[in-house]
Chains A and B, each alone.
Chain A
C-alpha cells in the first residue's frame, strides 16, 4: 500500500461516514420508512379531515379522530398496534367507532360500534386493499403495509430520495404488480408512492403534500391519494396531532367503544 492511499484511508476513517450516509440496504430503508410513517412515538392522536372528490368533482367529507397505540412485547416492538377510529361526521355515522387490533403477521381483529343500536359488531378480517370508508385510500394505506410483505430494491438514489421498487411476495393478495416509493433521505418519510400494474401503467399515486415536525417527529399533515384510472382523489388533512399522550390499553376495548374517550379528542 502506498503512502497516499494510507493517508486517504486515515482521513476517511477519521472523518467517518458523511452525515447522511448512503443507506444501500433496500429492506432497511423500507423498514425505516414504515417506522417513520406509522410508528412514531409510543402512541398518538390526530384529527383527520377527509375530502373524497370523484371525477365529476363531487365531494364527500369525513371527519375522524384516530388514536393509535403501539404494543410492546418484551421491550421490543412486535409491530402490533391498536387503532381507535372515531367518526364525527357525516351525521349518519357520528359516534360510530371502528376499532382495529393490527397484527402485521396475521389477520387484524376489527370491531365496529353502531351507537343507534348500542351494538358492538365483530367484523371479519377483510381485504386490506379495499376502500377505507369510501375513500381512495385503502385500509392498508391508513394503518400501514408491513415492509416484510414486499421485496425491495433500491432503484436509484438522488440527492433527495431513495427510490425503492417494491414487489409483493404474494402477488395474489394485492392488486399492484409493484410500486415505486420516493423516500426522503433525511427523514425517511415516503413523499410519493406510485402503484403500477403488470403492464407498467401507473394507476394510483400517493403524495405527501405537507409535513410538520411535531415533538421532533416529521409528520405528514396533508396527503393525497389519486386513483388515476377513475379520476377520483382523496385528500387527508391531519390536525391536532400529538404524540406520547399516554393512552392506556383499555381505550382500545369495548368499554370505550360504547363511551368514546372524548377527553382525548380535544373537544366535545
Chain B
C-alpha cells in the first residue's frame, strides 16, 4: 500500500466518521432564518477588498522614523466666517430702538505654526446698525473692529507652555454661571443674541502653564484690568442706581475702570489634576470685581473694587452622568468688615451641577447656585433701606435640555434660570441648523422676567428679544 493510498483512506475515514457523528437537526430546531440564509449565503458573500486578495503579512512591523511622522509644514492657515443677525425686542423698549440686533460680522482668522511656536490672529470687522459708536475701542470691543485673538504660544521646554497676547480664557465648571472664572465676559453680546462664543471677551495677558506629574499649574497675568463688557444702558436697558429706575441709551451708567498698566493688574492661578476620571482644581484670583458693583466717592459713577478670590472645583462621572461641584470665596478687600455701603460685601459662591443623557441624542442638565453675602448684619446697619440692599442669599436654579438630530445637523437647546430669592428668571432658547457644511441658520430668544426692577434678570426684562441669524464659514 502506497503512502498516498494510506493517506486517502485515512482522510476518507476521518470524513465519514465526522459526518456520521453529527446528526442533522430536526426541522423544528432549525431557526428559519438560517435555512433562508444558507441558500443565499454563498452568492451574497462579500468580495474581498483590494489589499486582502494578495495579503502579505510577512512584512515585519516597524516604527516610522519620528522625524517623518512629526514633520510640519510651516504656513499660515487662514479661515473666515460671515455672520449676520437680526433681532427685535418683544416689549416696549426703554430708551432703545425696537431692533435689538442688526449686524453683520466678518471674522478673519489665521494660524501659523513653527516647531515650538504657534501664532494666532482673529479679527472681527463689524457693521452694526444699532451701535452708536463706530470708532474702534479694542478694550471695550466697541466700534467696527474687535480684535478677538492676537497671541503667540511658545513651548520653551517640554513641560512649559507660554501664551502671550490677546486671548480668550476659560476655566471652571459652571454653564453660564461663573465662580472662579474671573476672565472678562461680554453680557451685552450674551443677552442680545450674538453667538455663544461672544460671551467671552478677550484678555490681554500672559498665561504660563507648567505641567508636572503631581499637578499642573496655570498662572495668568494681565498687566491692565480687563473688565466685563457689562450692561450699562448703551445696548441693554438696565437698573440705574443713580436714577433708581431702569434707563437705557439716553442715560448710560458712568463707571470708572482701573486702567493703570502694571498698577491695576490682575493675577489668576489654577492648580489642577485629573485623578482617575475626576478633575480637581484649586483657584486663586487677585484683581477687581469684574462688573462695577461699588460706588465712586462722589457717588456719580460705579466702580470696580478690589477683589481677591479663592476656590475649588471637582468634576467627574456620577450615576451615568457628569456631576460638578464648585465653590469660591470672594474677599472684597476694600470692605473687610462689610459695613461700607459703597463697596460690595464679601461673598461665598456655591455651585452644584449635574448633566446626563436622558434619551438618545437628548441631554438634560441642572445647576443649583447659591450666593451668600458675608457680614450681612453690618450691611443691614450701613444700608437701612432693604430695597437698596442686596439679598443675604441669592439662589438660582438652571435647567437645560438639548436635543440633537444628527442626520439633519439640527440642535435645539433650551436653557432656563430661575431665582426663587429674586423672583425672576431667564429663558434662553436656540435652534441651530447646519444646512450645508458652510451655511448655518439659527433662531433664538432671550426672555427675561421678574417682579422687581433691581434684581439681576428682572432689570433686563425690557430687553427680551428674539433673533434670527445666518453664518457662512469658509
Q: Which residues of A contact B (CB under 8 A)?
A: 4-5, 7-9, 11-12, 41, 45, 54, 58, 60-61, 89-92, 94, 101, 107, 109, 114, 116-120, 122-127, 129-131, 133-135, 155-156, 158, 160-161, 163, 182, 184, 186-187, 189, 191-192, 200, 207-213, 215-218, 220-222, 230, 232, 242-246, 250, 253-255, 259, 262-268
Contact = CB atoms under 8 A, between A and B. Distances in A.
Interface in B203-227: 209, 211, 216
Given A156-B41, A268-B113, A124 B61 contact: no
Contact of B274 (A212, A232, A253): A253
Nearest to A91: B473
A188 B361 CA distance: 33
Interface residues of B, number: 92
A253 to B, nearest CB: 7
A41 B61 contact: yes
Contacts, number: 224
Nearest to A266: B71
B322 interface: yes
B433 to A, nearest CB: 12
B50 A255 contact: no
Contact of B69 (A117, A230, A264): A264
B108 to A, nearest CB: 12
User: Chain B interface secondary structure, helix, strand, loop or mixed?
Assistant: mixed
9 contacts: A116-B196, A134-B407, A208-B49, A211-B51, A213-B59, A230-B407, A245-B63, A246-B66, A263-B72
Interface in B296-339: 315-317, 320-322, 324
Contacts of A92: 81, 434, 440, 471, 473
B317 A109 contact: yes
User: Chain A interface secondary structure, helix, strand, loop or mixed?
Assistant: mixed
B49 A122 contact: no
A252 to B, nearest CB: 10
B200 A216 contact: no
Nearest to B355: A124
Contact of A123 (B69, B153, B274, B322): B322
Given A134-B409, A242-B69, A245-B63, A158 B45 contact: yes
B196 A117 contact: yes
Interface stretch (B7-15, B129-137, B285-293, B386-394): B7-15
Nearest to B357: A126
A107 B69 contact: no
A220 to B, nearest CB: 8
A118 B200 contact: yes
A53 to B, nearest CB: 11
B97 to A, nearest CB: 28
A263 B73 CA distance: 9
A192 B324 CA distance: 42
Interface stretch (B84-92, B163-171, B258-266, B415-423): B163-171
B57 A216 contact: yes
Given A122-B173, A156-B38, A218-B51, 10 more contacts: A11-B6, A94-B79, A116-B196, A118-B200, A127-B361, A184-B52, A211-B49, A222-B49, A246-B63, A262-B72
Interface in B183-238: 195-197, 199-200, 209, 211, 216
Nearest to B203: A118
Given A160-B48, A217-B61, A221-B51, A91 B170 contact: no
B306 to A, nearest CB: 26
A240 to B, nearest CB: 9
